[in-house]
Amino acid sequence: MRFLLAAICICSLSACDATSTGESADVAEPSSLEQAAIEAGVIPDIRNVTLSGAFERQSDLGTDSFCAVGNDERGYQVGMIAVFGPDSKCEGMGEASRAGENINITLNSKKACSFTASFDGVELQLPGNLPEACASYCSPRAGFDGVSFYLVGEGDAVARSTRGRDIENLCPGG
C-alpha cells in the first residue's frame, strides 16, 4: 500500500513539475524526482519509449485496439477500433507523428480527421472532443472521443497482428 501511495505521489509531483515549467512538447530532461521514479521502475522513461506496438482496452462491450508501425523519425502508420457492442463501433486507419508526449494523429481512410492524443509511455489517451469529421469512422451512437488504450506489446511485428472488424489488418505496413 505504501508503494502504491508513493507511486501516486511521485507521478502527481512529476506531472506538476513538468507542466509548471512551460516547456515545449519535446521531451525535456526529467527532474530529479522523475529520474528517481524512472530508476525505481514506477514510471517509464518517455525518452526511450516508442509508439510502435499494439495497444488495447477491454470492457464488457468488446476490445478497443490501437496499433502503430514505424518510428519517431519517419512517422507511423496507425489503425484503431473502438467497440461499443456487436453492431456499434468506430474503425479507421491513418498516420501519426510524435512530439514528446503529444501524438498527432490523422485518420485518412475516410474523411480526414486530425487530433492530438497524449502518450505517457503506457497509455494513449484520445481527446474528449474530436472534430466532426471523426464521426465518419463511426456507426451511430459511437465515437472515438475520450477513448484510451494501454500498451500490450511493443514493436512493428506485434502491431501488425492487430485486427479490426471491417479492416482485417489495422496496421499492415510501415
For the chain, domain boundaries: 2-48, 53-160
pLDDT for res 21: 35
Between these two residues, 101 and 27, which has the higher pLDDT value?
Answer: 101
Kindly indicate the confidence band of residue 40, based on its pLDDT and cuts at 50, 70 and 90: low
Enumerate the H helices of 27-125 as residue ranges.
32-39
Distance of CA 39 to CAs 3, 8, 43, 89, Å? 14, 15, 8, 40
Considering the entire predicted model, what is its pTM? 0.74
Lowest mean pLDDT among 22-26, 78-82, 150-154: 22-26
Per-residue pLDDT of 51-81, as tens digits, reads: 999 999 998 888 999 999 999 899 999 999 9
pLDDT for res 12: 47
